[in-house]
Amino acid sequence: MRLPKVWASFVAFAAAVALNGCTLLDRRGDIAYRTLVAENGAIDKPSYSAAISAKFPPGSSVEALRRYVADSGGECRVRETGYWCEITYMVGICAAAMIGIEVKAQKSSIESTLVEIGGLGC
């Protein structure tokens, strides 16, 4: 037996809503962007620094921060007192905008983080 078009549309809509977890509006990306990015398109250093400090406070795992950097398309290099991590967030012709995170660590725990915003150009 075939359902009338109205019922078929309703069933399709209900299935889509159920598969989407009943979320019809998801503005998390927009909110995060507006919080962490300045009007000129650069990362807002105070906001990003505060977010990194809150997400990876002293005593938290260095490996968790390294995974965050890697999942964000960046990489970390070992230094005498910890790590230097870089994430490139915008690339253009002969230019790149980057986030640098200096991580001071004791064994596998974060002692402190320092965020730098900068870039490279020709």
pLDDT tens-digit profile, the chain (122 residues) = 565 666 656 666 656 555 656 667 999 999 999 999 999 989 999 999 999 999 999 999 999 999 999 999 999 999 999 999 999 999 999 999 999 999 999 989 999 999 999 988 88
pTM above 0.85, yes or no: no
Token pair, residue 113, equals: 């983080």
Establish how many alpha carbons lie within 13 A of residue 12's alpha carbon, considering only the half-sphere containing its beta carbon. 7
pLDDT for the residue numbered 19 = 60
Long-range contacts of 100-108 (CB under 8 A, 24+ apart): 101/52, 101/65, 101/69, 103/62, 103/65, 103/76, 105/62, 105/81, 108/61, 108/62, 108/63
Q: How far apart are CA 35 and CA 64, in angstroms?
A: 22
